[in-house]
Structure 1
Amino acid sequence: MRPSPEDARTVTCVGAGVIGGGWAAYFLAHGYDVVAWDPAPDAEARLRHLVDAAWPALTELGLAEDASRDRLRYEPELAAAVAGADFVQESAPEDLDLKVRLLADLDEAIPEDVVIASSTSGYPMSDMQVSCERPGRTVVGHPFNPPYLIPLVEVVGGKATTADTVAWASEFYRLAGKSVITMEAEVPGFIANRLQEALWREALHMVAAGEATVEQIDQSIVDGPGLRWPVMGPMLTFHLAGGQGGMAHMLDHFGPSLLAPWTRLVAAELTPALRDAVVEGCDREADGRSVDDLVAERDAGVIAVLRALGRV
């Protein structure tokens, strides 16, 4: 018997890398019992390091009354990890064959009513559930990095996923404190990644053509539209660009400019020169700060934005 979303209190995180570990930290901070499994020999040490690193930010955001890192258990065997799970969050590497095999293994090992969600950043669930005997309970629950800070989760089922599974997963994430988009249909890359990808490709084109540096591109977003996007997305932003006439005036007035060659949405060729230019630009922008230093700065910044918007 599938537990209600309210009664699901034990989460198994399958895969304990950056995303899976971030999920583990998030669920622990919200008072869940978390069991983790990852086949890497040093997985437990890396997982506990990640949880410890995330805990100050989660503490500042506000922990659940019964939140504790002591509620994390690592299991070296997959079967033991999923035994007793009320919900499973799979966060294996983005390799389709691997995910097909892993979801099939999970489907075989877990009681049939338990929902299995994948953190995939792009694969449709229809492509991943093909080897499952009971694919109806498999669903995408796509987070954003770091999962312990970024609220959004995109939920979408595959062709064989049941409607009640999608509804259950969406409600579970909402009760866990996430901002949930329940998609009506599968779209490669989902929604937010499609939008991110368009900006990313244009940025690579500009670097490749010598039109802008890495630093200028980042500054243009951080000190420009990025300051508006936490308040409202691009659609409402452009709605306001139309003044009192709103989006209708904006489209009537600026519509012809959509034909102007402002963007190049064909992927830029990632040549060695382009790759090196992007890497070197990021190194310059980091200016000696380590990855841990940058993570701490990012976390503090996201918290400040969330606090300023009253979302904490």
Structure 2
Amino acid sequence: MSQQLSTKKLAVIGTGVIGNGWIARALANAWDVVAFDPAPDAAERTRAFIDNAWASLEKDGLAEGAAKERLRFVSSLEEAVVGADLIQENVPERLALKQEILAAIDAAADEHVVIGSSTSGFKPTDLQQDCQKAPGRVIVAHPFNPVYLLPLVELVGGEHTTEALLEGAREDYQRLAMRPLIVRREIEGHIADRLMEALWREALHLVNDGVATTEEIDAAVVYGCGLRWSLMGTFLTFHLAGGEQGMRHMLEQFGPALKLPWTKLEAPELTDELIDKVVEGCEYQAAGRPVAELDRRRDDFLVELLALTRKYWPEAEGLEGRI
């Protein structure tokens, strides 16, 4: 985690898994956090979430002054956003609800403050639709679970958003020790989720067609492509597959296979039979372990993996902007 030179305040609206992840990340980076969620047990759930994540955050490295006690819950959205340096909206993924909440945040917040939506699919222009004060500062700021450990956040501006505002937002999220990726134009699902959905569709087809179990498919990713992707991603991995001639040779050699009917362009129908197969497979893999235990196991792994990948990330070799 990065060292913070001055106190910053994050306002979090909606405290589900993603909202709580933002809270934990901000606390670990020595920010003050003010949260609002109308659910009666929201504060209790959030504090339990942070307690479960804190050991991993300590291993990853806390900023000076980081403390769980810097979190405060308030009774209204308007109170939460007053004086905030950054606002993060995390309400359920329903467009009408997000538009309503974002319009209320826009009306209550100082007009220079960036309002990020954690939406995984909606376009920012649609999210800005009902905002009247400063709609351009309402952007997509899409993180990845667990938010408190994974550094990527996709930033997407809408029709009212300027490049200068996006650059300012990049700096805001960098202060939370994140690696912002500004998406060049708005599109449903942004970048990473569209890639993950493609793999998810194929995985469902493989289960549905009886080709593999959920455990076997996960093993194919964990012990194969997933290890390479954690360093190089898709394109550079295929560049190496072309040998000394790189990507050009790879495309000449394997490009025709793209025309073969290997992939399924549409997701399979979620029949009761398919749902049962997927659920039963996942329950077998979980082996009765509660989600909190699986979270801790994942987090312990990610802390060690992050320590390794940081040694190989571009800035470690003076190659900023290239992977």
Instruction: Tell me if both proteins adopt one fold, taking TM over 0.5 as the criterion.
Output: yes
| Cross-structure match for 2:44 | 45
Q: Distance in 2 between matches of 1:213 and 1:160?
A: 46
- Who is 1:304 aligned against? 304
Indicate how the Cα distance of structure 1 residues 8 and 87 shifts in structure 2: closer, same or farther if over 3 A, else same: farther
Q: Distance in 1 between matches of 2:222 and 2:136?
A: 42
Seen in structure 2, the aligned counterparts of structure 1 residues 162 and 6 have a Cα distance that, compared at 3 Å, is farther
Aligned twin of 2:112:
113
What is residue 29 of structure 2 aligned with on the other side?
A: 30
CA contact (8 A) 1:138 1:165 kept: no
| Alignment correspondent of 1:205 | 205
Equivalent residue letter for 2:257: S
Deviation at 1:181, TM superposition (A): 0.7
Aligned to 2:242: 242
One-letter amino acid matched to 2:84? A
In structure 2, relative to structure 1, the CA distance for the partners of 1:213 and 1:161 (3 Å cut) is: same
Give the TM-score normalised by the residue count of structure 2: 0.93
Equivalent-residue separation in structure 2 for 1:190 and 1:310 (angstroms)? 25
What's the secondary structure of 2:154's corresponding residue?
strand
Q: 1:63 to 1:7 in 2, by over 3 A?
A: closer
Distance in structure 2 (CA, Å) of the matches to 1:269 and 1:127: 28
Distance (Å, rounded) in 2 between the aligned partners of 1:98 and 1:61: 35
1:6 deviates by 8.0
Partners of 1:30 and 1:66 in 2: how far apart? 8
**Structure 1 counterpart SS, 2:33:** strand
Report how far residue 25 of structure 1 moved.
Answer: 0.5
3-state secondary structure, aligned to 2:106: helix
Q: Which runs of 5+ in 1 are unaligned?
A: none
The count of aligned residue pairs is 308
Aligned equivalents of 1:309, 1:162: Cα separation in 2:
33
Is this contact kept in 2: 1:8–1:86, CA < 8 A? no
How many Å apart are 1:7 and its aligned residue? 6.3
Aligned equivalents of 1:139, 1:6: Cα separation in 2: 26
Shift of 1:108: 0.8
Are 1:286 and 2:286 matched, yes or no?
yes
In 2, distance between residues paired with 1:182 and 1:310? 21
Q: How does 1:1-312 map to 2 (within 5 A)?
A: 9-133=8-132, 134-310=134-310
Matched-pair contact (CA < 8 Å) for 1:6–1:175: no
- Taking the aligned partners of 1:146 and 1:92, their CA distance within structure 2 comes to 17
TM-score where L is the length of structure 1: 0.96
Deviations 1:253-295 (A, max 9, x none): 1111111111112111111111111000000111121111111
TM superposition shift of 1:12: 0.4
Q: Secondary structure at the match of 1:309?
A: helix
Runs of 5+ consecutive residues of structure 2 not aligned to the other structure = 314-323
Looking at structure 2, the residues matched to 110 and 6 of structure 1 have their Cα atoms a distance apart, in angstroms, of 24
Q: CA deviation at 1:162?
A: 2.5
